Amino acid sequence: MTSTREIVPRKERVLLPREIEGMISAGQVIVIIDNKVLRLDSWVPYHPGGLKPVQHMIGKDATDEFTIFHSEETRQLIDRYQVGRINGRWRNMLPPIQGGSCRPYAEKSAEAQDATAVDYWPKAFPSKKSKCVENLGIQQRLGSFHYLPHEPSKPDNQKLAFLDGLSRNEIMNTLNNYPALDEATQVKITQRYRRLHDQIRAEGLYNCNYTAYAWEFGRCLFLFGAMLLFLRIRWFCASAVFLGCFWSQLVFCAHDAAHLSITHNFTIDSLIGMIIAGPMGGLSLGWWKRNHNVHHIVTNAPEHDPDNQHLPLLAVSHRFLEGIFSTYYERRIRYGRAASMLVPFQAYSYYFILMFGRFNLYIQSWTFLAGGHGPKKGSAWWHRWFEIAGNVLFWLWFGYGVVYKSIPTGWSRFSFIMISHMVTLPLHVLFTLSHFAMSTADLGPNESFAQKMLRTTMDVDCPEWLDFAYGGLQFQIVHHLFPRVPRHNLRHTQKLVQQFCTETNIPYTLYGFVGSNKKVVSSLTEVSRQATTLAKCQQAIAQRAADYLKAEHEREGLTKDYNLTCD
């Protein structure tokens, strides 16, 4: 006799959690969207945003992330990848890229028949009222920290104990300040967030104000014209200042285009963004999107967010003091000798380092383009070659036409290059203000997308007449919640988000420009203090161990000089 399960169309059959776990265990890319189970193996090579963002969604309900990042046209394509459905609410797994593990599925086993077999899901952290730190599962969450309490004499174990203690404190402080992570609370936040998204769409805040972009175009034209004028009359320093301001304004528009917030059409916005980034700015939009998409998915996660990984120059979290394995770069980033010398002074070197930020963008862009790291299939296969041509054109007009041909002396050329690039310092400061001082705690896969974005992101307050200078980057909370909302609508959207935070009891972090800078510098100073304390503790422990061993061997009649150093 044929069962009901067998006559249901394949796409509509209900899959058990253990079946989905088994599919992931077999290496399949499984994501849940709108209660539909999607197998994206065949789509991933064509994804313009790269593989990494999808990997961080495996085994999770990615409805919110998918909805806010993709156009309506893309969202209509998901049904072709559907392999089943789920009943009820999905409890997120920890994706394999983040350390999650899955068991193979045997259809005829007794366990497979048990629809309630969900023991592989990580448990939620206790509510903020709980005092039981031991139940936080800190060692499982942090991965690289494995404190061994039965070996207290070893400096490495003391170091890990110290860092684990800091991580526990960070998690407990976060739990005390944000809504509890129980399912009921997080479901309410998600439902309210989705209603907010519908409200923003209904109020037309996704519609682009093209008149505002006419003003943007006029501003950029004025800055570039002023650069040429002062270059012609040989006021090279003034010319360099205007060129740096021109590049900064261009970045704002390229950022909008990369998020498809200008026309909401993938091809048109990609062309706009690549033309701005490449021949005008000398950068790769493809590299930026590959990097930035991951940042939006795993914001402020030290092991996963490339925008946080700046060793040996900066450590924005104590978790970098042990070194981390970067899932983005797929290599271990070590806290080595250079970092141990630089990080203790990072609060003083922070602005100096950011003055050279644009040079790093050149390196990252050419590494991406030369290595062919972008999409090789699908609608974006040609982007790499378009961007290479654009970047070559940039160096022809800027490197050859402006710097070499128009400026007569070597010192003047050097000054022009350095001034034009260092003028972009405020832009790079804006990039970092919104995240460097915010939470880096890993609260597990049960935290709602909306709460995670609000917990890891800060807004910078400024008067409305200065919005052109901030380019929308001052509304990073709003942008992280709704990245496709056009820049010129973010101020109005901010009021709706603040109301949402009031209703859900989630703190909305807002500082002025001076206050946000103080907050970031204070955070960097705290990590520096932790690094210094850790180094002193290790030195003291190593010295005690050396003294003990020396005394022991002297008692045995040995005179060998033991000189132990701390790693």
Same domain, 365 and 248: yes
Same domain, 362 and 498: yes
Structure tokens at 305: 């967010």
In a domain, 175, yes or no: no
- Per-residue pLDDT of the chain (567 residues), as tens digits, is 444 445 667 788 899 999 999 999 999 999 999 999 999 988 888 888 888 999 999 999 999 999 999 877 777 788 889 999 998 888 999 999 998 888 888 765 545 444 443 343 443 333 333 333 333 333 333 333 333 333 334 556 666 777 778 788 888 888 899 999 999 999 999 999 999 999 999 999 999 999 999 999 999 999 999 999 999 999 999 999 999 999 999 999 999 999 999 999 889 999 999 999 999 999 999 999 999 999 999 999 999 999 999 999 999 999 998 889 999 999 999 999 999 999 999 999 999 999 999 999 999 999 999 998 888 888 889 999 999 999 999 999 999 999 999 999 999 999 999 999 999 999 999 999 999 999 999 888 889 999 999 999 999 999 999 999 999 999 999 999 999 999 999 999 999 999 999 999 999 999 999 999 999 999 999 999 988 888 777 666 666 666 666 666 666 665 455 454 444
Shortest CA distance to 214 belongs to which of 459, 468, 402, 395?
A: 468
Q: Can you give the pLDDT at residue 186?
A: 94
**Of 512, 527, 542, which residue is a domain's last?**
512
The total of structural domains in the chain comes to: 2
In a domain, 161, yes or no: no
CB 349 within 8 A of CB 559: no
Same domain, 343 and 446: yes
Q: Can you give the pLDDT at residue 553?
A: 67
Domain encompassing residue 63: 17-151
**Of 130, 151, 172, which residue is a domain's last?**
151
Same domain, 230 and 332: yes
Same domain, 409 and 484: yes
Same domain, 83 and 192: no
| 324, burial (CB in 10 Å: exposed 0-12, middle 13-18, buried 19+) | buried
Same domain, 147 and 222: no
Q: Name beta bridge partners: 510.
A: 459
In a domain, 207, yes or no: yes
Q: Can you give the pLDDT at residue 101?
A: 84
- In 10 A of CB 128, how many CB atoms? 15
Structure tokens at 487: 């820049």
**Of 151, 175, 196, which residue is a domain's last?**
151
Q: 540-559 burial by CB neighbour count: b if 16+ within 10 A, else e?
A: ebbeebbeeebeeeeeeeee
In a domain, 157, yes or no: no
CATH code for position 63: 3.10.120.10
In a domain, 214, yes or no: yes
In a domain, 373, yes or no: yes
What is the H or E stretch that residue 129 is in? none
Same domain, 237 and 103: no
In a domain, 255, yes or no: yes
Same domain, 283 and 378: yes
Same domain, 321 and 256: yes
Same domain, 345 and 476: yes
Structure tokens at 385: 């070659």
Same domain, 146 and 257: no
In a domain, 165, yes or no: no
Phi first, then psi: give them for residue 235, nearest 5 degrees.
-95, 75
